Structure 1
Amino acid sequence: MDVAILFLVFVGGLVIGIPVAITLGLSSLAYLLVAGIPPVVMPQKMYAGMDVFVLLSIPGFILAGNLMNRGGITHRIIRFANALVGWIRGGLGLTNIAASMLFGGITGTAVADAASIGGVMIPGMKKAGYPSDFSAAVTAASSTVGPIIPPSVPMIIVGALSGISVGKMFIAGAVPGILMGLAMMVTCYIISVRKNFPHQPWQGGGEVVRSFGGAIWALAMTFLIIYGLLSGLSTPTETAIIASVYAFVVGAFIYRELPLREVPKILIDSAVSAAGILALVGFANVFGWILVSERIPQMIADGVLSLTGNKYVVILLINLLLLFVGMFMETIAALIILFVPLLSLATAVGIDPLHFATFAVLNLMIGLTTPPVGVCLFVCAGIARLPLAPVVVAIVPFLVTNILVLFAVSYFPPLATWLPSILTP
């Protein structure tokens, strides 16, 4: 009965549109009251969930992304991407995807990618003759590459939950992220040829070199992050702080597009964003503790293993579950609630923890572009000034492409594990 109250309040809150973090808190509080557990347990468990050293890197990476975005990174990356692929049929769509791949290596969050790249590319694509729904769809779909290519806020969460090295997680996401971007480029090109979308004339090798020179300081930030982690010179939290200082120096003194008077506002906005994520972590930790107390994860694992012990069938079932959950739940909340029990199930059938963590994150990233709770869909539809329905229809080919990449990564572990095995001790 107590667990029934937990799930009834949780599902009811989602149905009526209460934010996920608050829904998690309300459902957990309802359970504690019905079960007769002192409510003081709630702040204790919230604090325990947030009191993890690696989580301190989240505010740092958010701040670094905001500083670089305001400091002139977005249009430089778009210019470089456009010089590389803008001359191909559907070139602005390809530029959109390429820019997201490059931009994702700096912010680590899909929503920041969708808002920043979309704010520039969606109006630009519409003006160049691309349909509004396609412009919004390609932006939303490509934004999910951001949290796969390092750095990645969801992967930091996974590292905090499981003890898996955040550095290895970052490296494990590189190949799947690049595959995801290239597959979406192929899809974009095929659609563009079939619908005769426009393209731009080749701007010459000189423009490639000039645009690369303009973007090199921004692109070097990804190298800085990865080198710091792989060399052992800095922890994820220290790397995030270094990245923030680097972003400030580049934006304010090299690009000279970051006014010092705007820094306080950027600090406040970054703190608010980080606080929202950490509050979600805290509430979700309470919810997850209740599930563990009621042995729900063990029941799920036992139920699945009673049906099959075949590793490949278990991978299929996990993917189907996470794709379904991703349609209705925010990524970080889903990770905190489901990752640990599903990791236990995965390891029980012989799935490598790093491999599982990679395809689990990839899976939930796809959820950011699926209705009814696809945040990136809403962001891009809003920028394009369209209702959600036409954007959902236009994004279907990209969803199919991303799901194919997901299953390739799921069933061929070296795509996730090979690079970490050669780059990390």
Structure 2
Amino acid sequence: MIEALILLSMFLMIAIGVPIGISILGAALIGCWILNGELGFLNASLSIFAGATSFPLISIPLFVLAGALMNTGGISTRLISFVSALIGFVRGGLAMVNVGVSLFFAEISGSAVADVAATGSVLIPAMKKKGYKPRFAAALTSSSASLAIIIPPSIPMILYGALSDTSIVQLFVAGIVPGLLGASLMMAFCYYYAVRYNLPREEAFSLRYLWAKGREAVWALILPVIILGGIFGGFVTATEGAGLAVVAALFIGVFVYREITPSRLYHALVDGVNQTAVVMLLVASSAVLGLYLTETQMPQRLAAGITDLTTDKIMVLIIINIFLFFVGMVLHGAAAIILTVPIFMPLVHQMGIDPVHFGIILTLNIALGQQTPPVASVLITACSIAKTDVWGTTKTNLPFIGILVGVLLMVTYIPAIPLWLVGVFYGP
């Protein structure tokens, strides 16, 4: 009963506008004090320090900074130009470019919000100019950016891996096939939309033009090879790969494209610090919440309650997905991961669900939460760029949300989709 009241107080604080990190920390501290008195505060302070200094989490500010440097260093615009030259000749090509650029950008930043902020400012006005409806442009940009957090590297996967003690590299590998599957389905719908509304092709295909844009973007295209090749090849960890991303993005922006000035570098650093501070406050708060949940054994009791209802793995996964979907609607991605991982991991282990498989399920639910109001952080960012209303854009976004749901269901009930490539790289 007390545990339920603690969690209820946390949601009430969030509902009245208290920052999510403060709400989680405040509720968890109250719980620790009720359990252990003043000693609970001492344990909480140690948990905060241990949680915020985890080595894998160092990659989060580095990937965020790499994304900011990409945006200010001219890398994003060159990626857009290259992908446009590659597939822009197809009917609906500009919409497909939107999806393709999101995949490229996500291979460096790992953040959906950074993706939509960087690419949306260029692609949404371009799509509107070519005859795409503003709501469609915002919906596609938002959904493709959220899909891209499935493609490695992914900040949600890093958070999950650190909290659940799951291999982050294997999570990255497991996200490749679902990400490409979702991107293909979104591109197919873009083609259908363009044919239905008779939208023009962007330009005739030209090998000379493609070669010219490819030469301009070659340094930008090398970035994913450096990062993912180093991580998957076993040369660097995910954290070291994030450091490589920063160094490479800085080098390209300063010495190759020469667009990063001291002023732009300062703004990129400030932007990176602001985004990182929010995530790390949530991480530190989650450590205290995890301590409280562990001491009360609430996750174990929840697992026992669900298995008392059913021991069928399919039904358990349905229950988990429904819960994660609604949590994603009311909490930002990092907060949703931080809240649900300590609760569900005992159940995941008890039911024999592969932790890597569950990590992809969780990440896809986070992607859905970024598209479903009231929170919908990525959708709101896209709407602010397109100057459209959130609820109207959500209606237009339903086909793309349906694609995300379809990918989630396939990943949930056909484990081979995410795990096949993991088996190829690391064995059964």
TM-score by length of 2: 0.94
Matched, 1:100 2:102: yes
Which one is further off, 212-221 or 62-71? 212-221
Separation in structure 2 between the aligned mates of residue 361 and residue 349 of structure 1, nearest angstrom: 19
Separation in structure 2 between the aligned mates of residue 61 and residue 265 of structure 1, nearest angstrom: 16
Separation in structure 2 between the aligned mates of residue 238 and residue 152 of structure 1, nearest angstrom: 14
1:235-254 equivalences in 2 (<5 Å): 235-254=237-256
Compared with structure 1, are the counterparts of its residues 348 and 31 closer, same or farther at alpha carbon in structure 2 (3 Å cutoff)?
closer
Separation in structure 2 between the aligned mates of residue 2 and residue 61 of structure 1, nearest angstrom: 39
Match of residue 269, structure 1, among 268, 271, 274: 271
Q: Which residue of 2 aligns with 1:47?
A: 49
Report percent identity of matched pairs.
Answer: 37
Separation in structure 1 between the aligned mates of residue 8 and residue 368 of structure 2, nearest angstrom: 26
Query: Unmatched 5+ residue regions in structure 1?
Result: none
Separation in structure 1 between the aligned mates of residue 188 and residue 417 of structure 2, nearest angstrom: 19
Letter in 2 for 1:396: L
Separation in structure 2 between the aligned mates of residue 119 and residue 274 of structure 1, nearest angstrom: 22
Q: Which residue of 2 aligns with 1:420?
A: 422
Q: Which residue of 2 aligns with 1:22?
A: 22
Match of residue 292, structure 1, among 277, 291, 294: 294
Q: Tell me if structure 1 keeps the 8 A contact 2:57–2:158.
A: yes
Letter in 2 for 1:350: G
Q: Which residue of 1 aligns with 2:170?
A: 168
Q: Which residue of 2 aligns with 1:69?
A: 71
Match of residue 313, structure 1, among 312, 315, 318: 315
Cα deviation, residue 24, structure 1:
1.1
Letter in 1 for 2:23: T
Separation in structure 2 between the aligned mates of residue 18 and residue 91 of structure 1, nearest angstrom: 43
Give the SS at the match of 2:229.
Answer: helix
Give the SS at the match of 2:149.
Answer: coil
Give the SS at the match of 1:112.
Answer: helix
Q: Which residue of 1 aligns with 2:410?
A: 408
Q: Which residue of 2 aligns with 1:9?
A: 9
Q: Tell me if structure 1 keeps the 8 A contact 2:254–2:261.
A: yes
Separation in structure 1 between the aligned mates of residue 302 and residue 56 of structure 2, nearest angstrom: 29
Which one is further off, 34-43 or 205-214? 34-43
Separation in structure 2 between the aligned mates of residue 20 and residue 188 of structure 1, nearest angstrom: 36
Q: Tell me if structure 2 keeps the 8 A contact 1:104–1:113.
A: yes
Separation in structure 2 between the aligned mates of residue 349 and residue 41 of structure 1, nearest angstrom: 31
Separation in structure 2 between the aligned mates of residue 178 and residue 233 of structure 1, nearest angstrom: 25
Give the SS at the match of 2:340.
Answer: helix
Q: Deviations over 1:221-266 (max 9, x none)?
A: 1121122222332222222112211111111111222124432332
Separation in structure 1 between the aligned mates of residue 190 and residue 23 of structure 2, nearest angstrom: 37
Which one is further off, 158-167 or 70-79? 158-167
Which one is further off, 300-309 or 31-40? 31-40
Letter in 2 for 1:332: A
Separation in structure 1 between the aligned mates of residue 79 and residue 180 of structure 2, nearest angstrom: 16
Matched, 1:109 2:77: no
Q: Which residue of 1 aligns with 2:344?
A: 342
Q: Tell me if structure 1 keeps the 8 A contact 2:110–2:154.
A: yes
Q: Tell me if structure 2 keeps the 8 A contact 1:2–1:34.
A: no
Give the SS at the match of 1:251.
Answer: helix
Separation in structure 1 between the aligned mates of residue 212 and residue 50 of structure 2, nearest angstrom: 49
Root-mean-square deviation (Å): 1.8
Q: Tell me if structure 2 keeps the 8 A contact 1:6–1:28.
A: yes
Q: Which residue of 1 aligns with 2:221?
A: 219
Which one is further off, 243-252 or 341-350? 341-350
Letter in 2 for 1:338: T
Q: Tell me if structure 1 keeps the 8 A contact 2:231–2:241.
A: yes
Query: Unmatched 5+ residue regions in structure 2?
Result: none
Cα deviation, residue 33, structure 1:
4.7
Separation in structure 1 between the aligned mates of residue 291 and residue 415 of structure 2, nearest angstrom: 30
Letter in 2 for 1:37: G
Cα deviation, residue 36, structure 1:
6.0
Cα deviation, residue 35, structure 1:
4.8
Letter in 2 for 1:390: G
Which one is further off, 322-331 or 287-296? 287-296
Separation in structure 2 between the aligned mates of residue 185 and residue 231 of structure 1, nearest angstrom: 30
Match of residue 395, structure 1, among 386, 394, 397: 397
Q: Which residue of 2 aligns with 1:192?
A: 194
Q: Deviations over 1:144-165 (max 9, x none)?
A: 1222111111111122112222
Letter in 2 for 1:415: I
Q: Tell me if structure 2 keeps the 8 A contact 1:148–1:174.
A: yes
Give the SS at the match of 1:17.
Answer: coil
Cα deviation, residue 310, structure 1:
1.3
Q: Tell me if structure 1 keeps the 8 A contact 2:62–2:242.
A: yes
Matched, 1:234 2:197: no
Cα deviation, residue 418, structure 1:
1.5
Q: Which residue of 2 aligns with 1:209?
A: 211
Separation in structure 1 between the aligned mates of residue 36 and residue 113 of structure 2, nearest angstrom: 39
Separation in structure 2 between the aligned mates of residue 17 and residue 186 of structure 1, nearest angstrom: 40
Cα deviation, residue 17, structure 1:
2.9
Q: Which residue of 2 aligns with 1:140?
A: 142
Give the SS at the match of 2:330.
Answer: coil
Which one is further off, 219-228 or 277-286? 219-228
Match of residue 368, structure 1, among 367, 370, 393: 370
Q: Tell me if structure 2 keeps the 8 A contact 1:187–1:401.
A: no
Q: Tell me if structure 2 keeps the 8 A contact 1:57–1:236.
A: yes
Separation in structure 2 between the aligned mates of residue 84 and residue 57 of structure 1, nearest angstrom: 32
